[in-house]
Structure 1
Amino acid sequence: MPSPEAPYLIRPEIFQSCPELVALQTTRKGGVSVPPYDSMNLGLHTADDTQCVIENLKRLCDSLNIAVESIVLTDQVHGTDICTIDRSGKVSGFDALITATPDIFLGIVTADCYPVLIHDPEHKASGAAHAGWQGTAGEIVLKTVQAMAEAYGTRPEACLAWVGTGISASQYEISREVAEKFDAPLLRPSSREAGKYLLDLSLANRTQLRKAGIPDAQITCSTWCSSIDRELFFSYRRDHGQTGRMLSLIGVRSAC
């Protein structure tokens, strides 16, 4: 039974000065998928009914007044490779996308990992990165800013960036082996199990954005947690893998 509610979207305030920009993260509200994918699942690789996911994507695009075909997705592999996009379609094996082509909207799907959206208003260029612990350890966000600078002449000091909703440090317990890949300020010992640590991926990616040259005042981070805020977000870890995916989008509309 189709849900009567419209997709509930998070629109980062950091981008409000760019009216031509579409930048958002979906929540789990406003779709047609049934539990455990209820209801706005946008992960085609999940075990959800494919037709439900397609209907959810259509609902999202209708609410944004954009074409489904204008969204570019990638088969994310927890790596650090970046793809430059100049036309619509799907790519594989990349965890970050960049574009300066109008009416192309870059998409990243997540359910605990962090989506990071970057916009260069001078060149109307955008980037979207998928940052789990592997990508973050490999500095995918830093590399995305560098790729935009190389491809479009982006000046980091002119960019705006948003670290979206993912799993917060209080919920993200990792092994000692993973912890060794991160600097001490990003970690604290877990009180739940000896030898485990809690990792702050949001801060890690904000730190990378600053390292790339984006001023701290031009970076914001979501204050939600995909694991804690279960009414709004899917969480792979909380739901033991049986869950949907949120979609984060960024791109510039062409002038009317």
Structure 2
Amino acid sequence: MTPNRVARPRIFQSIPNLVAGVSTRHGGVSEAPYSSLNLGVHTDDSPEIIEQNLSIFCADLGISPSELARSYQVHGDKIWVTGRPGYQSGFDAMVSVQPGVFAGVGIADCTPILLADPVTGVCAAIHAGWKGTVAGIVEKTALRMIENRGSNPADILAYIGPCISQAHFEVGDEVAAHFAQEFKIQKGSKWHVDLKAANAAQLIKLGINQIEIDTACTVENNADYFSHRKEAGTTGRMLALIGFQVA
């Protein structure tokens, strides 16, 4: 049996017309070291191959690559709120306010967070590495939905996807210093930070309590997901996307 190309969040499955998923590394056409479903535009893989992979992945979800809203990510906290698809630069969170526009972020160890409000029809895809997590990008994006788009925190559903787990995210004092004690443990001279818990806390702080946290670790489960750290920087990228289809 061929492994799935898409990991589908359970928390969204009962919402009509909502499309959400995270790609795995399976079922594409890229060759090593990008094997096989590499969706990373800024890797050294062939652009034609990446485009083919994207078409395959989007077809699984019943959407078109032309409906995606994505950005070149910079580990910052800028948010692109859009009613149109396209490709920008400098944004690490995409908020879709229009059915038929699917927000997407690339990942390969950093945390993907997907948010959906079935009442307002607004959703968001967020890329949160340690810098974005410290900058509060998840909280800022959710606040944009609440304060600018009229979302009630109780209506927002959240999915925290596959990323590097605390067991494998080893950092030095300079990074650990940015995190509260509850999100880190010390092992010898190194610290281990829990990015999933740190980002979940930002949502809970705002009253968002409908949260699914995926247990998959990109390092531990490297056979299924790309890992920048495990593969020493030469690897592919997954895509986490979310959006409402036109009813």
> Is TM > 0.5 for Structure 1 vs Structure 2?
yes
SS at the partner of 1:170? coil
Aligned counterpart in structure 1 of residue 214 of structure 2, from 211, 222, 225: 222
Cα shift readout 1:176-215 (whole Å, capped 9, x = no counterpart):
0111111001000124xx1x20000010011111012102
* 1:33 partner amino acid: S
2:235 is matched with which residue? 243
Cα shift readout 1:84-142 (whole Å, capped 9, x = no counterpart):
11111111111111122001000100000000000011101101110000000011100
TM-score for the superposition, normalised by structure 1: 0.94
1:157 is matched with which residue? 154
2:80 is matched with which residue? 83
1:7·1:40 contact (CA, 8 Å) conserved in 2? no
1:76·1:94 contact (CA, 8 Å) conserved in 2? yes
- Consecutive aligned runs of 4 or more in structure 1 exceeding 6 Å deviation: none
1:56 is matched with which residue? 53
1:168 is matched with which residue? 165
Q: Alignment identity in percent? A: 42
1:13 is matched with which residue? 10
TM-score for the superposition, normalised by structure 2: 0.97
Aligned counterpart in structure 1 of residue 65 of structure 2, from 63, 68, 71: 68
Aligned counterpart in structure 1 of residue 204 of structure 2, from 199, 204, 210: 210
Cα shift readout 1:146-187 (whole Å, capped 9, x = no counterpart):
011123101111110000000000000011011111100100
Deviation at 1:6, TM superposition (A): 8.2
Deviation at 1:7, TM superposition (A): 5.4
2:5·2:57 contact (CA, 8 Å) conserved in 1? no
2:244 is matched with which residue? 252
For the residues of structure 1 that align with 2:241 and 2:198, how far apart are their CA atoms? 21
For the residues of structure 1 that align with 2:60 and 2:183, how far apart are their CA atoms? 38
For the residues of structure 2 that align with 1:76 and 1:61, how far apart are their CA atoms? 20
2:195 is matched with which residue? 201
SS at the partner of 1:171? coil
SS at the partner of 1:244? coil
For the residues of structure 2 that align with 1:230 and 1:69, how far apart are their CA atoms? 29
1:110 lines up with 2:107 in the alignment: yes
Aligned positions, number: 247
1:147 is matched with which residue? 144
Gaps of 5+ in 1: none
Aligned counterpart in structure 2 of residue 125 of structure 1, from 94, 102, 122: 122
| CA RMSD across the alignment | 1.3
